[in-house]
């Protein structure tokens, strides 16, 4: 794997991703409110600066009328964003269906949908057709805005069909494709009915990038085993045409976090949180509420830790920030109820009149991040103290219910109270509030132990952000070995298998008792990595290599 530092990007860059960095909310016939989108792809690309870039993508909303489309296009243009309008049915079949019910679980080793998730093969086919149609609509918008010399950078599993569409339009277009999720073992990819068509389409790009060397290797194996093409150290070769395949580990804009920690408002939040949790160690999880994040596994491991270590019960708190995501997909709805139920049960089991062990906050992000090459809107800064207070109040309710249940365990109707317990946790999470960037930085900064227990994860930027905010505290990162970040932060983190609840519970104990010397040593390693492998380096390296690859290909064809 050839890893050179990139050169500053001189050409215009067209970033194409399913999701724009802002999602639109309609306020009137021609009035729109824009809020920052969630997820690692958006966070990383917002950290890329000093480039003349346009971002093409879906605004996350159905806009059937021309008045609305015109107004939204204008509002987005100010943010250098260009919308792709997908009608409701296509968006549903493409985004909820093929992308999030088929490709996302498959690429994270959760397999293809069974009968209950996908009734018939015909529905699979219709979702794939919608996927191709949607990709074609993205291609049309790119073509409309493309100028000679532009670099077109396509992102993620939503747009695997795009490189082919673009090259059919203009074979000279410089096209790169980057996957933000894992690429699974070729034996997993092999199960996908449209396996070959997708691989061939991605291979139309000049360069194909992944977060880790393993994902790149899996992709090359899929091309050799499924398509019968030749894999070389540089990539995949088809009849003398090379598609370069390589690993480009993503990073964050660590300076932005460091700068935020210096702001008086953030310092004030830090003081408030420190005061609020005085005498307790703070553990933190920040995840989209997605089945790949291993949130139930994390919470069950925490429960096991409390069960085995009664002396820690009133000395540690787990703050779990769960960002609502893909809420129209049934699997995500099921997960939401499951997590609420487990949290309610554990808080009922270990809560006291004054404290609960888990604060589960179901929070969309609100942030004003005018950073990088794209400006974003947001609501005012707001720290979620209200939910924390509510949680304490609900702890009292939980405890009362718990003792009631204990003293009346012979009364069968009382099992009806466990849904009430989960409902109380949900209530803490549905008040009208949100978490913004500064509040998030403050939370990272006061954390003693961060818990990332993804069952699979392309990279996981939350682990990077936590490390970037730990300048003084030197908190411990417990990190799943199945996150891409394990390959870069493995030496500093405590690596765990999230399926092994006993192991994770033991790691929690180890982390909470770790000596300051060991914490310092582990933190130093991770901090050095996070601050030297930034989002900017990632983007510059990818685009430089895309340019070099195109020049090399031209030289080869002339020879």
Alpha carbons 422 and 26: distance in angstroms, whole number: 32
CA angle 534, 538, 542 (to 5 degrees): 170
- 322, containing H or E segment: strand 316-323
Q: Which option in ligand G6P, ligand ADP, none does residue 326 bind, with CB closer than 5 to 8 A by kind?
A: ligand G6P
What length does the chain have? 559
Q: Is 440 in the site for ligand ADP (CB under 6 A)?
A: yes
Regarding 288 and contact with ligand ADP (CB under 6 A), the answer is: yes
Say if CB 448 and CB 523 are below 8 A apart. no
* Residues contacting 323, CB < 8 A, separation 6+: 38, 286, 287, 288, 289, 363, 364, 365
Q: Which stretch binds ligand ADP (CB under 6 A): 37-45, 52-60, 137-145, 311-319?
A: 37-45
Residue 331 interacting with ligand G6P (CB under 6 A): no
Residue 460 makes contact with ligand ADP by CB under 6 A: yes
The yes or no reply on residue 39 touching ligand G6P (CB under 6 A) is yes
Q: Which of 465, 537, 540, 545 binds ligand ADP (CB under 6 A)?
A: 465
* 156 counts as binding ligand G6P under rule CB under 6 A: yes
Name residues contacting ligand ADP, limited to 304-323 (CB under 6 A).
321, 323
Q: What is the dihedral of CA 121, 122, 124, 129, to 10 degrees?
A: 150
Residue 323 binds ligand G6P (CB under 6 A): no
By CB under 6 A, is residue 19 in contact with ligand G6P? Answer: yes
Position 108 contacts ligand G6P (CB under 6 A)? no
Number of H helices, E strands in the chain: 21, 17
At residue 313, the 3 state secondary structure works out as coil
Whether residue 510 contacts residue 22, with contact meaning beta carbons closer than 8 Å, is answered with no
Residue 462 binds which of ligand G6P, ligand ADP, none (CB < 5-8 A, kind-dependent): ligand ADP
CA neighbor of 323 nearest in space, from 269, 358, 359, 360: 360
Nearest to 435 by CA among 495, 363, 492: 363
Q: Write down the least CB distance from residue 504 to ligand G6P, Å.
A: 23
Stretch that binds ligand G6P, among 34-42, 137-145, 201-209, 464-472 (CB under 6 A): 34-42
Tell which one of 429, 439, 459, 504 touches ligand ADP (CB under 6 A): 459
Of 199, 205, 208, the C-alpha closest to 234 is 208
Nearer to ligand ADP, 155 or 345 (CB): 155
Among residues 345, 287, 326, 349, the alpha carbon closest in space to that of 498 is found at 287
Residue range at the interface with ligand G6P (CB under 6 A); choices 36-44, 129-137, 352-360, 433-441:
36-44
Q: Is 387 in the site for ligand G6P (CB under 6 A)?
A: no
Q: Under the criterion CB under 6 A, does residue 326 sit at the interface with ligand G6P?
A: yes
What is the size of the binding site for ligand G6P (CB under 6 A)? 10
Closest CA to 340 of 435, 452, 433, 429: 429
- 22, 34, 35, 43: which one binds ligand ADP (CB under 6 A): 43
Residue 19 binding result from ligand G6P, ligand ADP, none, given CB thresholds of 5 to 8 Å by partner type: ligand G6P
331 binds, among ligand G6P, ligand ADP, none (CB under 5 to 8 A by kind): none
> Can you tell me the distance from the alpha carbon of 116 to that of 149, in angstroms, rounded to the nearest whole number?
48
294-321 residues labelled b (16+ CB within 10 A) or e (exposed): bbbbbbbbbbbbbeebeebbeebbbbbb
Residues 184-243 that bind ligand G6P (CB under 6 A): none
- Enter the DSSP assignment of 280: S
Q: Is residue 450 within the footprint of ligand ADP (CB under 6 A)? A: no
Which of 34-42, 117-125, 489-497, 530-538 is the region at the interface with ligand ADP (rule: CB under 6 A)? 34-42
3-state SS string for 4-68 = CCCCCCCCCEEEEEEECCEEEEEEECCEEEEEECCCHHHHHHHCCCCCCEEEEEECCCCCCCHHH
Least gap, CB of 485 to ligand ADP (angstroms) = 8
Nearer to ligand G6P, 95 or 394 (CB): 95
Residue 14 or 461: the one with the smaller Cβ distance to ligand ADP is: 461
Distance in Å, CB of 140 to ligand G6P, minimum: 21
Q: Which of 202, 223, 247, 286 binds ligand ADP (CB under 6 A)?
A: 286
Instruction: Supply the minimum distance, in Å, between the C-beta of residue 306 and ligand G6P.
Output: 31
Site for ligand G6P in 349-368 (CB under 6 A): none
Q: Which is nearer to ligand G6P, 159 or 450 (CB)?
A: 159
Distance of closest approach, residue 463 Cβ to ligand G6P, in angstroms: 14
d(CA 118, CA 108): 18
With CB under 5 to 8 Å by kind, the binding choice for 209 among ligand G6P, ligand ADP, none is none
Q: How far is the CB of 483 from ligand ADP (least distance, A)?
A: 8
# of chain residues touching ligand ADP (CB under 6 A): 18
442 Cβ partners below 8 Å, 6+ apart? 266, 269, 270, 273, 383
DSSP 253-271: -HHHHHHHHTSHHHHHHHH
Binding residues for ligand G6P (CB under 6 A): 19, 38-41, 156, 180-181, 325-326
Binding residues for ligand ADP (CB under 6 A): 38-40, 43, 286, 288, 321, 323, 363-365, 435, 440, 459-462, 465
């Amino acid at each position: 794997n050839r890893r050179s530092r990139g050169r500053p990007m001189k050409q215009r860059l067209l970033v194409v991703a399913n999701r724009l960095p802002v999602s639109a909310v309609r306020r009137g016939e021609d009035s729109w409110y824009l809020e920052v989108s969630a997820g690692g792809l958006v966070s990383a690309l917002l950290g890329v600066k000093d480039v003349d870039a346009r971002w093409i993508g879906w605004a996350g909303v159905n806009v059937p009328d021309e008045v609305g489309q015109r107004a939204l296009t204008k509002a987005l243009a100010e943010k250098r964003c260009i919308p792709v309008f997908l009608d409701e049915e296509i968006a549903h079949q493409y985004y909820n269906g093929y992308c999030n019910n088929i490709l996302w679980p498959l690429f994270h080793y959760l397999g293809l949908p069974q009968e209950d998730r996908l009734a018939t093969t015909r529905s699979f086919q219709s979702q794939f057709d919608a996927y191709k149609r949607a990709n074609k609509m993205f291609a049309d918008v790119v073509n409309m805005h493309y100028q000679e010399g532009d670099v077109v950078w396509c992102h993620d599993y939503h747009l695997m069909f795009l490189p082919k569409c673009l090259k059919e339009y203009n074979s000279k277009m410089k096209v790169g494709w980057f996957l933000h999720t894992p690429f699974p073992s070729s034996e997993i990819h092999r199960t996908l009915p449209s396996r070959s068509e997708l691989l061939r389409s991605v291979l139309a790009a000049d360069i194909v990038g992944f977060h880790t060397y393993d994902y790149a290797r899996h992709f090359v194996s899929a091309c050799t085993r499924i398509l019968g093409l030749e894999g070389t150290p540089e990539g995949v070769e088809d009849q003398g045409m090379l598609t370069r395949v390589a690993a480009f580990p993503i990073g964050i804009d660590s300076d932005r976090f460091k700068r935020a920690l210096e702001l008086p408002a953030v310092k004030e939040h830090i003081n408030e949180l420190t005061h609020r949790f005085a005498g307790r160690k703070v553990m933190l999880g920040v995840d989209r509420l997605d089945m790949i994040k291993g949130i139930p596994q994390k919470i069950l491991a925490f429960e096991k830790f409390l069960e085995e270590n009664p002396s820690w019960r009133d000395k540690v708190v787990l703050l779990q920030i769960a960002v609502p995501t893909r809420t129209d997909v049934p699997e995500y709805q099921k997960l939401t109820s499951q997590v609420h139920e487990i949290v309610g049960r554990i808080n009922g089991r270990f809560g006291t009149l004054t404290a609960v062990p888990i604060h589960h906050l179901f929070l969309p992000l609100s942030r004003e991040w005018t950073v990088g090459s794209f400006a974003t809107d947001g609501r005012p800064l707001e720290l979620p103290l209200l939910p924390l207070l509510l949680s304490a109040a609900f702890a009292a309710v939980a405890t009362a219910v718990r003792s009631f249940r204990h003293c009346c365990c012979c009364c069968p109707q009382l099992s009806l109270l466990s849904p009430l317990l989960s409902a109380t946790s949900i209530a803490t999470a549905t008040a009208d509030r949100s978490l913004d960037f500064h509040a998030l930085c403050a939370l990272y900064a006061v954390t003693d132990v961060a818990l990332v227990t993804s069952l699979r994860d392309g990279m996981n930027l939350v682990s990077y952000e936590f490390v970037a905010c730990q300048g003084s505290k030197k908190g411990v990162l417990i990190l799943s070995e199945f996150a891409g970040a394990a390959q870069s932060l493995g030496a500093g983190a405590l690596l765990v298998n999230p399926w092994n609840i006993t192991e994770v519970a033991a790691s929690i104990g180890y982390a909470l008792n770790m000596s300051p010397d060991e914490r310092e040593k582990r933190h130093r390693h991770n901090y050095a990595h996070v601050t030297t492998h930034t989002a900017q380096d990632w983007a510059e390296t990818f685009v430089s290599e895309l340019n070099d690859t195109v020049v090399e290909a031209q030289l080869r064809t002339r020879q």
